[in-house]
Structure formats: C-alpha cells, structure tokens
Structure 1
Amino acid sequence: MKNLLIVLLCALFSSSPMAKDRLEVYEDYELGSEIMSITTVRIDPNMSDVYLAGLRESWVKAAKIQKELGYIKDWKIYGSDLPTSGDFNMLLVVTFENSSDLEPNKQKYDAFMKKWTETDKKMSEEISAKYPEVRTLTGEYRMREIILK
C-alpha cells in the first residue's frame, strides 16, 4: 500500500502542469560567451608518448604563442585513463574568450607569423606528416557553456 501511494504521488508530481517539457533560451538558460574548440583524437595503442612529443613541438608551441599574444584564453590536452575504450582517447582543447576571436584577422596572423619562425614551420610540417602513423582525428567540435537558471 505504501509503495502504491509513493508511485501515485510520483505520477501526480511528474505530470504537474507546472513542469516544463522544454526550456527557452534567455528565459530558462543563458549561453556563455567563451568558445571551446575541441578535437577528439584516437591514439594508436602505445603511441601516446610519441604523439605527445610531436604535439609539444608543434600544436603546443603554436598554442603558447597564441596565448602569449592574447588570441586565445587557454589550451589543454586531456588523455583518457581508459585509452582503449570509445571512439577517442585524447582531447585537444582551445578556449577562446568569445566568438569574435575566431574571425580571420590579418594583423593577428602577421603578428603570429613573426613569432612562428621558419624553423618552427618546417619542424611542424615534418612532425604532422608522421601523425597518421600514430593517430586518427575522430571529430572537431565548437562548444559553448549552457548556464541553467
């Protein structure tokens, strides 16, 4: 009897006219201004250290310059504790202050290229040419925080 009463009360409250079946942007939630660009990567077994060594001399080096110049807010690399499960086992994340930071900008490009030397460019090209031997890109995402009210 007690269980039946609990089930009936749950049914009553879950079908309440006060419950909303969908939320409205700006009324029920806000959208954050930061943008995260996320690349999902599938690293071959036992190749994470090889891939990270390449990233350090290419992607990370470029991200550090972009952060120093104020073009990005931050960057991070996440690795799975369970590297053989799922479609990817590493995330490369770049956080931008807002969507305008994603727009093409010749002045920003020129300033970056002054810091990104010809040696950096050549090394990055050599390293990235070998990436297909150790990893597969599985997705690219642009994410924004959803702030529920």
Structure 2
Amino acid sequence: MKHIVKFLSLCCILFAFSSQAELEIYKDYDLGTEIIVMTTVRIDPNMENVYLAGLRESWIKAVRLQKKLGYIKDWKIYGSELPQSGDFNMILMVIFENSSDLDPNKEKYNTFMKSWGKANQDNSREITKTYPNVRTLTGEYRLREIMFK
C-alpha cells in the first residue's frame, strides 16, 4: 500500500513538472462516472481478525444489503501484505455507478432501514463501539477514474 501511494505521488510530481503544455479535460482525458469511496484504516498489531469479525457483522452486512437493493455497484476490502508499514494497512471501498448515487434520498434510506431492521441496527451499534480499541481511521477519499485518450 505504501508503495502504491509513493508511486502515485511520484507520478503526480512528474506530470506536474515534466510537461509545459497543460492538458485539457475531454480533449486529452475523460473522467469516469463511477465513484469509489475509500476509507484507509490502521489496524493495531494482531487485531486484524478481531476487526474483520466486527466488520462481518456490521459493515459487510450493510454493504451486502445496499448492493442487493441496487444502491451500490460493489464493495471491497483490501489488506496489506506488509501490515506494519505505512499509515494504513486496510482499505474499505464502496463503488457507486455515479455521483448521484451519493445524494441524500429519503426513500432509499427508509427502504434500507426497513430491510436492515432494529436487530442489525442495535448489533451494529454495539460492535462499532469497540472499533476504536483496535483501529484508527487514517483517511477518507472520493475517487473518480481519469482515462487518458
């Protein structure tokens, strides 16, 4: 993960200084419509399985339901093979078809909450109370693909 961040940073620096001509959106590159919401997490040593068990009963249940309802395109979890290096060692991702899927929507909210149910809501609240004991959120990002022509 650390290497990916370093590589992306290096690419940004090289692009900023290596070209005198500026690129123009839609002429030189397009922007994708898909939106990825990415949360970076630093899990304490030897707590990965504890955190994943909590996610399984809260976050994973919620994103599976959101996908079933058609509110999200997909979701993913990535774990670092070098868990003690860098600022984070896990990434939680939610993929949306487009930015309008992120807009507030009372109907979608009510449908989700009805499907989610009080038991899941209560269970999720209890589980997430323990998260600060095993992890620290290190970043939240909203990403859109850049497609060069």
The alignment's TM-score, normalised by the length of structure 2, stands at: 0.86
Alignment RMSD? 0.9
For 1:89-108, what aligned pairs fall within 5 Å after superposition?
89-108=89-108
Q: Is residue 2:140 matched to residue 1:146?
A: no
Deviations 1:80-136 (A, max 9, x none): 000000000000000000000000000000110111111101110010000000000
Q: Counterpart in 1 of 2:85?
A: 85
Q: CA deviation at 1:20?
A: 5.5
Q: Which residue of 2 aligns with 1:73?
A: 73
Q: Please name the residue that 1:12 is paired with.
A: none
Task: Report the equivalent of 2:120.
Answer: 120
Aligned counterparts, 1:24-103, within 5 A? 24-103=24-103
Question: Structure 1 segments of 4 or more deviating over 4 A?
Answer: none
For 2:50 and 2:22, the matched residues in 1 are separated by: 46
In structure 1, distance between residues paired with 2:119 and 2:82: 36
* Pairs aligned (count): 131
In the alignment, the residues of structure 2 paired with residue 79 and residue 143 of structure 1 have an alpha-carbon distance, to the nearest angstrom, of 19
1:75 Cα deviation from its structure 2 partner: 0.2
Mark the runs of 5 or more structure 2 residues left unpaired by the alignment: 1-18
Which residues of structure 1 form unaligned runs of 5+?
1-18
Q: Find the aligned partners of 1:70 and 1:99 in 2 and give their Cα distance.
A: 14
Q: What amino acid does structure 1 have at the position aligned with 2:80?
A: S
1:94 and 1:132 mapped to 2: Cα distance?
21
Report deviation, 1:22. Answer: 2.5
TM-score, normalization by structure 1: 0.86
C-alpha distance in 1 between matches for 2:145 and 2:119? 37
In 1, the alpha carbon distance for the partners of 2:137 and 2:108 equals 27
Q: Percent identity of the aligned residues?
A: 67
Q: Please identify the structure whose Cα radius of gyration is greater.
A: 1
